[in-house]
Amino acid sequence: MARLVYAIEVAPGHQFPGHPECPGRVEAIQQALQRLAVFLGCADGQVTQLGAPPAHLPEGLLEAVHTAEHVAELRATSARLSGPTAVRDPDDPDGPTYATPTSFDDALKAACTAVALVDALVASSSSSSSSSADGSAAGSGGRPQATSAFSICRPPGHHATAAEQMGFCLLNNAALAARHAQRAHGLQKVLILDWDVHHGNGTQDLFYDDPSVLLIDLHQADVWPGSGALDETGAGAGAGATINVPLPWYSGQAAFQRAFERVVAPAARRFAPDLIIVSAGYDAHFKDPLEKLQLQAGSYHWLAAAVRRLAEELCGGRLLLVLEGGYNQQALGQSVAETVLALLGKPSAHALLDPAQLPHPEPLEQVEAVIELVRRQHGL
C-alpha cells in the first residue's frame, strides 16, 4: 500500500505586503487537500502528518551546506527587524527577497521538516510496518511509515546558495535534506529533480563538483536567474552530474513528458540513487503569473506518478518532495492535490486539456532539439 507522510507549515509571520510568496500559498494547498477524500480521516493509514519537527538541525549539517556568515546574517537580520523588509532585489517586479522578524525561524523550521521527513523515509525502509493505536503506520521509534514524503513548507529554498539568499529563498531545504541523508543515514547517492519553472541555481552551485548528487533541472529557458544552460554540466569530480534541460517558452505536458522519459528516467537509472528528492515548484502551470510554461494540474499528477514509479524501481520508493514556487494560488492548490493523489497511486481528478485549449501551441520541434542536445551531451 502506498503511504505518504507529509508536513505543512503556513509560516504566517513570513510575509511582505503584496508579495506572491506569501502564507496564502500554503493556505490554498491546505484547502485543496481538505477536499481530497484521502485526507478526510485517513482511516486507511495511507496518509500521516508528521509531528513537530526538531527545533534544531543535526550538529554540523547547516554548516555543511551554508557558510557560517550566511547563517549568522540571516539570524541577525531577523533579530533586528520590526517588520517585513526587502533584503535583496528591492526593485524586482516579481517581488524582492525579504525578511521579517520570524523569517530565520521559519526557514529553519522548513529545513528541519525536510530533514525529519528523510528520517521517516529511512525508518520506513529499514523496519517492518506496525500499526499504531490510532491506525496509522509507524516504524522504529514511533516514526511514521512512508514510501514517499512531502514537505509543504515555506519559505522555499532552491535559489539559496552556500552564501546568499535570493529568489525568495533563504535556506536550501532540498540540499540540506540531501546532505542529511548522506551524513546521518549513509545514503551515498542522491538524485535531486527540480521541476520548478526557474532554474535551481542554488542547488546547482552547492553540488556542482560533487558526483554523489545528481541534479536534473527542468526549467524555462532564458528567464531569471539566467543560469541552467545546456553546457552547465558540473565540474571536477562532479563533471556530468548536473543535467540542465532548458525548455523553450510555452512548453507544457508533452515537453515535460518527453524530457522525463528520455532524459530523467535514463539518467536516473544510470546513476542508481539511494534517495530521490524533488524540488517541487508549481510555477510552470500555465496560469502562473511569473513565467511562460504551460503545465496543468493534471501534468503534476503525471510527473509525480512517473517519479514515484522511478523511486520504487531504483531506491525502494524513497522519495521526498519539497515545496518550491507556485504563485497562482488556485492552480497551486489543485496541482499539489494532484501530486498527492499520484503519490498515493490514485487517479487524477483533473483531466488534461486538449492542446488547442492552451493559450499557446507547444513548440515541440524546439523541445525535441533541446532534448537531443541533452542526450548527446550526457551520453543518454
Compute how many other C-beta atoms are within 10 angstroms of the C-beta atom of residue 216.
Answer: 25
Compute how many other C-beta atoms are within 10 angstroms of the C-beta atom of residue 21.
Answer: 22
The four Cα atoms 198, 304, 335, 42 give a dihedral, to 10 degrees, of -140
Neighbouring C-alpha atoms within 13 Å toward the C-beta of 349: 17
Interatomic CA distance for residues 283 and 281, integer angstroms: 6
Q: Is 199 a catalytic residue?
A: no
Sign of CA dihedral 349, 355, 361, 365: positive
Q: Which helix (H) or strand (E) holds 31?
A: helix 23-34
Q: In Å, how far are 40, 42, 168, 232, 315 from 319, measured between CA atoms?
A: 23, 20, 25, 26, 8
The residue annotated as part of the active site, out of 158, 159, 219, 301, is 159
With both helix axes pointing from N to C terminus, report the angle between 329-343 and 297-314 in degrees, rounded to the nearest 10.
30
With both helix axes pointing from N to C terminus, report the angle between 23-34 and 329-343 in degrees, rounded to the nearest 10.
50
Interatomic CA distance for residues 56 and 120, integer angstroms: 17
Find out whether the peptide bond into 363 is cis, omega within 30 degrees of 0.
no
**What residues are paired with 242 via a beta bridge?**
215
Asked whether 250 and 361 are in contact (CB, 8 A), the reply is yes
Residue 251's closest CA among 279, 226, 219, 222? 219
Q: Strand 213-220 vs strand 242-247: parallel, antiparallel, or unpaired?
A: parallel
Which stretches of the chain are assigned E, i.e. beta strand? 4-9, 47-49, 85-88, 97-99, 130-131, 137-138, 148-153, 190-194, 213-220, 242-247, 275-280, 319-323
Asked whether 330 and 288 are in contact (CB, 8 A), the reply is no
With both helix axes pointing from N to C terminus, report the angle between 68-80 and 103-126 in degrees, rounded to the nearest 10.
130
Give catalytic residue positions.
159
